[in-house]
Amino acid sequence: EQSHPTRSGQVFSDLQLPNSMHPLEGFPLSETLVLPRSFGTMYLGETFSAHLCLCNESPSVVRDISVQVVMQTSTQQLQLFSDSSKHLASGQPLNIQVAHEIKELGAHVLGCSVHYLSAQGERRVLQKSFKFQVANPLVVKTKVNHLGRDVLLEVQVHNATQGTMALERLRFEASSPFTAEDLNTAADGAALWDSSAGFMQAGDVRQYLYRLRTHIDPEQVTVDQERAVQYATALGKLDILWRGSFGSFGRLQTSQLLRKSPGMFLLEIESAEVLGKTAALEEPFVVRALVRNVSERRMAVSATVHAHTHPMVISCGAAQ
C-alpha cells in the first residue's frame, strides 16, 4: 500500500486542496498519482492493496465522474471498485482504496478507468494500468511411509521468496478415513513454527511430520473398512499461514496431497499362534492361524509348510 505525495509534500486527504499555480485547463483530472508500469513480484496467498487518488486540478467543477477499478488475470476479470455520479469541485480529491487476495499465478493487471464530463460538456476518459507478476512463495514436497493402517507423512516446506518469512501456523487437514496427529512439537510442547525455527530465510527448508491414524478397531474391522483404508489415495491438505516483510500477511492451502495406494493382498493372516504357547523339540505341536479373505470373491484355501524356508519343521497333519 503506497501513499503518493502532492507537490507540497502532503499526502492527499479528503480536505480541499488549493489550485496549483498552473492548472491543467485541458485535462482537469490530474495525473499526480502515477502508477509504475511494473513494480516486481507478489506471491500467491498475499493481499494486494492500493490507494488511488483522483484530484480535480482545474478551476471548474468536474461532473458525472464514473470510476471503475478491475483486476485482470489470465483467466478472469474481477471488479474491485465501481462508483458513478460523482462531482469534484476545484481542488477536491477522491480517495479510493482497493484490496484483492491473490489466488492465481502469472501476470496480473490493475486497470483504472475514469469517465467524466469536462467543463466544455465533452465526455472524456482517463485510463491507467498497473502490471505485476505473481509467483509461488512456497514449494511443498511430501514423503509417505506406511505403518500398518497408519501413515507417517513427511512434509518439506521451501521458502521460494526473495525475503524472510515467519511461519505462524501449519495445520494439516486430513481426509477421510484419516485423522492427523501433529508431531511437530519442541521439548516444552510448543509448536516448532511458534519459535525461532519458524523464521525462514530465502531458500531455507523446513521439515515437518504428521501421523495419520484411522479409528478402526482391529478386532472388529470389516472387509469394506479395510478396503476403504488401504485404497484411500487422498491424505489431506496443508494450510500454511505466514508473515512477510513489514508484517505482510499470507495464507496458502495446498491441493490434495496424494499417496500411492498400498493396496491389499487377496488373503491376509491376521494372527498365528502355537497352541499351548510352547513347542518341544521333536514333539508334535499345533499352530493355529486366522486367515481373512479380503477379496471380493469366494476362495478355496489350503496351507502347507515349505521345507526350503522352514527346514527344521515337518508338516505331519492336514490343515483344517
DSSP states of 152-163 as a string? EEEEEEEE-SSS
Alpha-carbon span 294 to 251, nearest angstrom: 43
Q: Could you give the dihedral angle defined by the CA atoms of residues 225, 229, 230 and 232, in that order, rounded to the nearest 10 degrees?
A: 130
Chain segment 105-129, per-residue pLDDT in tens: 999 999 999 998 877 788 888 888 8
CA nearest 261: which of 142, 140, 144?
A: 144
Those residues with Cβ within 8 angstroms of residue 182's Cβ, 6 or more apart along the chain or in another chain: 172, 191, 210
Kindly report, residue by residue over 43-94, the tens digit of the pLDDT.
999 998 888 888 888 888 888 889 999 999 989 999 999 988 778 888 888 8
Rounded Cα–Cα distance for residues 63 and 108 (Å) = 31
Whole-model pTM: value is 0.63
Strands 38-43 and 123-135: parallel
Partners of 205 in beta bridges: 158
> Which residue would you say has higher pLDDT here, 215 or 26?
215
What percent of the chain has a predicted confidence (pLDDT) above 90? 25
**What grid cell was written down for 296?**
471380493
Residue 34 is placed in which grid cell? 502515477
Q: Which of 142, 158, 168, 157 is nearest to 235 (CA)?
A: 142
Backbone phi, psi, residue 225, to 5°: -65, -45
Cα dist from 121 to 7, 27, 55, 116, whole Å:
29, 13, 19, 9
243-297 pLDDT, tens digit per residue, is: 887 778 889 899 999 988 776 666 677 777 788 777 788 788 888 888 777 666 7
